[in-house]
Structure 1
Amino acid sequence: MAVSAADEEIWFYDEALELSDEEFTDFMYIKDDTTHQWQRCPISVLDSLCGTIVKLLLFSALKRFLVFLHAREIVSKFTLHLTFVASGLFVIGTQNNLSSICIYIALTVVFPYYNFLFNKQTKFVMLAYSIGMLLYFSTAKEFMSMRGILMIVLMKITSLSFDFANEFYGNITLLHLLSYIFDSSTVLFGPWITYRQYQDSLYLKEFKAEIINFFRGLSYIALSLFAVIYSSCIADSFIELPFVGAYFVAQSFRFSHYFVSWFSAGTSLLSGIDSGIVADWIHIELPRSLVDVVVSWNIPMHRFLHQYIFGETRKYGSAAAIFVTYVVSSLFHGINFQLSAVLLSLGLYTYAETKIRSKLSRRIDSCICARICRKECHHTCKEDALSTLTINMLFRALALTHLVYLGMAFDDSTAETGYSWRHTLSVWADSYYFSHVIGLFMLLLSSAF
């Protein structure tokens, strides 16, 4: 039955009459305070990010302006690259411990520049050396604050080392290398870009393409701001609710990731680098399988891991390549039990799910593989068949369950210094490790099926 506004007002008035003066004052204060909290939260969130947002937007615009001047031969190539290095250092220095990051970069870039980087036989040596230097800097609070920067640097160095070994590039000068490493639009939040993408950003595109990229970049940034407001103000408001609280804890973490991903996509696009949307939220929030989540979580990083780690180790077998890929990915995040446990758990789940769905797909001749079938696939039961829809829906529900379970421990209780193994295991123990039990059961089933 519909309730009119007048009826609501009468109900509120009658209920208020039953309260004492003191109770009525408290009731109105709580109501008013809740309203103000919803109004203040987005403003306080955006205010805390304002300095970083403005700074990165200005440096992205500066980069494009300098590229324009260079195209008109007003600015030399040396000045162009030197300014990019200085811009990147300024961005790092105003956000993190500049000295520690510079020492790391000196050890992983400058020192091995002549001895390792251009040596065709040492691409894996360079990877191991860079990871070793990263782990050396993994001291809790300080490392957590600069982990993203170090990881982007490590990925750039590793990809460049492999590309040199595979003769994709000729020799480059140290200044050009440093300008790639310190690119101000990607040095803070990413995304990872290849040296080829960076080189392409140093040239002007057609006027129409520049305008389209400008508005695409702004749309990504607008989406990122919505994501951070939803994560901090909306999802966080529901984490205390029974049953669904765990879902919103995990979703709050995911939307904070979307903020970083979409904002980095926007700033890099404004600077001339088209890295795509970085994180495909539809395939994460409503995944067909956990493979969709892994691929869509950070598309540039997935491309990096697939090309330089999985692709290089696939000759030892798919299972070994998957394991090595997830181990390297966890090492990129530093020695952090929670992140490593989540990544390795995902490796187990995706391997088991892919294997069992492939076998089941062949057994019942249906489009139920972990990745969506091509239109010209040979299966009898296509994507729109009732049996296919039912099975895929069950796997979607299972993927969402795994996501909630793995994301429950990311509750910001110890985010500043990193999540300890005790915290992670205690959160999962409260759920009786049901996700890992399901994952192990699926792995055993896939082997016996």
Structure 2
Amino acid sequence: MDADYYDEYFDDYYNENDLDMEIFEPRFENMWSDCVWPSLIQITIYTLKFISVNFAFRILTQTFGVKFRIWNHFVSILCGTILIWMSVEGGYVYIYGFIIISYLVIWILSKIRQRKVGYVISCFILSVLLLCGYLEPDKRLWHQIRGTLMIIVMKIISLGFDLDATKTKELPSLFQYLGYLFCPASVILGPWHSYNEYTYIFESPKWNLNYFISIILNSLLSITFLLMSNCFIYGIIPDNLWKWLIAYRDAFAFRNSHYFISFLSQATMVTAGFGSSDNLSRYTRAVGYEVTIPHKIEMPRSLLQVVVRWNIPMHNWFKQYVFRVIKPHGTFLAVLSTYLISSILHGLNLQLSALLLSLGFYTYVEYKLRQKLSTIYNTCTLPNPCKPGCSHESKKIFTRFLNILFSLLTIFHLAYLGVMFEAAFHIQEQGFSLSHTLDKWRSLDFASHWIVLISYLFYLVI
């Protein structure tokens, strides 16, 4: 199994905790009054809550934080706590417990000069997360706080490995640690960011017109994607059509709800000060901080490209702190560990585990098949585009045909895999069951899985 194909990850879970909003299926002619207007009011209030708290964080840290560094972390803790209280109905013991216990473990490891902080804290915190998820009787509550816990756990693990690699030179103080984990830009919606990225926003503040343009643009795009997911898609594509069109509709609506969360998180990150071109490679002039790239997902070259662009910071986290860490012990073990840890972070939910396992197999088969076709026919048909000046005959009609075919297959797989997320809101807030997933796939005759199996057999015989 090659290592290259697995430099990917996707965030199939988006934290939409307090957006207590029904999924409308309106008639097209009544869409404005039945869906668009009420959704617009509700989501505008929801968006302003995050933007205003993060803007207050930015103002307060840039006004007083230059001379008093501890003030920055205090404000971060305060603003992050406010957002948690506003967004999460309960489970505070889990959130604060994870944070305090993890710091105590890291502090003890640093005192005994243990240079395997990353490994130890990863095993400890993931075990605790798994145990709490299993023992918590209120599954609705656990499902609600899981997204916040996932971001916190990812931050803790990355800090542990950064301490080992001396990317972070010394253990942060308790105030610095709490400020990082409670950072209002990411504590609810994500995305993950490193401790060094967090500290940098206090070093090089930037106030310019592009800062405000990026906030407004990200917010407007976020609201647009939510309206698409809630109203327009269901209004345009009714229920009485071909089952595969319905499957595409439901999966497309889910992807738009993911874009809504992603662009709102981009807006909060920019508002808090993460949209600087000096401190990250994900900077783009228009949006400031890049979490997802919708057009790369909706018009994909490959399934691998989809899972990488789905949530770029999370992809980077898995590649840096899981896959590359385990890879020296074997590529297969690294792949298996990545799958296992992603399943644990997402609550070891059987439905999501089935999706992750399917995606892992799909991307592997796609990579191997396209690699072999590229070698046999000397074509630019790899999952990622070739670099300029490659030796492949990339302009041949056959090459373009293969790339278009794989793109269409990817769109087909996305419709099949994403259809499982269509359900009533009361089911969504408690989590999906494996039987729900199998019922959805059975209604589509397991067609996508059969096609991937045939593709794998074709790869073996050519």
Q: TM-score range, shorter-chain basis?
A: 0.7 to 0.9
In the alignment, structure 1 residue 62 sits paired with structure 2 residue 40? no
Deviations, residues 75-126 of structure 1 (Å, cap 9, x unaligned): x222221121121111101211252343442455333231246732242221
- For 1:239 and 1:310, the matched residues in 2 are separated by 42
Q: Which residue of 2 aligns with 1:161?
A: 160
Instruction: State the secondary structure of the residue aligned to 2:321.
Output: helix
Deviation, 1:390, is 0.3
Match of 2:180 in 1: 180
Letter in 1 for 2:410: A
Counterpart mapping for 1:261-300 below 5 A: 261-274=262-275, 276-300=289-313
State the secondary structure of the residue aligned to 2:183.
coil
- Give the match for residue 367 of structure 1: 380
- Find the residue that maps to 1:113 and give its secondary structure: helix
The answer to which structure, 1 or 2, has the higher relative contact order (CA under 8 A, 6+ apart) is 2
Q: SS at 1:186's partner residue?
A: coil
Residue 109, structure 1, aligned to residue 102, structure 2: yes
Change (3 A) 1:355 1:317: farther
Summarize deviations over 1:238-288 as a string: whole Å, max 9, x none. 251422111010000000000000110111111101363211111111111
Structure 1 equivalent of residue 414 of structure 2:
403
Alignment check: 8 A CA contact 1:227 1:256 kept: yes
Q: Offset at 1:72?
A: 5.3
Q: Under a length normalisation based on structure 1, what TM-score does the superposition of the two structures give?
A: 0.87
Distance 1:444 1:328 in 2: 29
The answer on whether the counterparts of 2:302 and 2:383 sit within 8 Å (CA) in structure 1 is yes
CA contact (8 A) 2:151 2:191 kept: yes
CA contact (8 A) 1:239 1:249 kept: no
Q: 1:112 to 1:447 in 2, by over 3 A?
A: farther
Answer yes or no: is the 8 Å Cα contact 1:92–1:98 preserved in 2: no
Once residues 64 and 204 of structure 1 are traced to their aligned partners in structure 2, the CA distance between those partners, rounded to angstroms, is 12
1:343 aligns with 2:356: yes
Partners of 1:253 and 1:407 within 8 A in 2: yes
Output the amino acid matched with 1:251. F
Percent of residue pairs identical: 30
Matches within 5 A, 1:362-441: 362-379=375-392, 381-382=393-394, 384-413=395-424, 414-441=427-454
* 1:231 positional shift: 0.3
CA contact (8 A) 1:108 1:133 kept: no
Q: Please give the alpha-carbon distance, in whole angstroms, between the structure 2 residues aligned to 1:241 and 1:317.
A: 50
Q: Which has the higher helix share?
A: 1
Q: Secondary structure at the match of 1:375?
A: coil
Residue of structure 1 equivalent to 2:149: 150
Q: Which residue of 2 aligns with 1:121?
A: 116
State how far apart, in whole Å, the 1-side matches of 2:238 and 2:166 are: 51
Q: 1:13 aligns to what? A: none
Deviation at 1:226, TM superposition (A): 0.3
Q: Which is worse superposed, 82-91 or 251-260?
A: 82-91
Query: Is 100-109 or 420-429 further displaced after alignment?
Result: 100-109
Instruction: Name structure 2 gaps, 5 residues minimum.
Output: 1-25, 276-281, 283-288
- Please, what TM-score do these two structures have when normalized by structure 2? 0.84
Q: Distance in 1 between matches of 2:375 and 2:214?
A: 42
Q: Which is worse superposed, 171-180 or 138-147?
A: 138-147
Query: Which of the residues 313, 320, 324 maps onto 1:311?
Result: 324
**Equivalent pairs, count:** 412
What residue is the counterpart of 1:22 in the other structure? none
Helix, strand or coil at the partner of 2:420: coil
Letter in 1 for 2:189: F
Work out whether residues 71 and 203 of structure 1, in 8 Å CA contact, stay in contact via their aligned partners in 2: no
SS at structure 2 position matched to 1:187: coil
Aligned counterparts of 2:96 and 2:192: Cα–Cα separation in 1: 21
What is the deviation of 1:64? 1.4
Q: 1:86 to 1:119 in 2, by over 3 A?
A: farther
Which consecutive unaligned segments of at least 5 residues does structure 1 have?
Answer: 1-31
Query: CA contact under 8 A between 1:104 and 1:134: conserved in structure 2?
Result: no
- 1:320 and 1:257 map into 2 onto residues whose CA distance is 30
1:68–1:204 Cα contact (<8 Å) kept: no
Q: Distance in 1 between matches of 2:263 and 2:27?
A: 32
Structure 1 match to 2:455: 442
Q: Secondary structure at the match of 1:408?
A: helix
The answer to whether the 8 Å contact 2:65/2:72 transfers is no
Q: Give how far 1:368 is off.
A: 0.3
Quick one: which of 41, 44, 50 aligns to 1:47? 41
Q: Letter of the aligned partner of 2:40 in structure 1? A: L
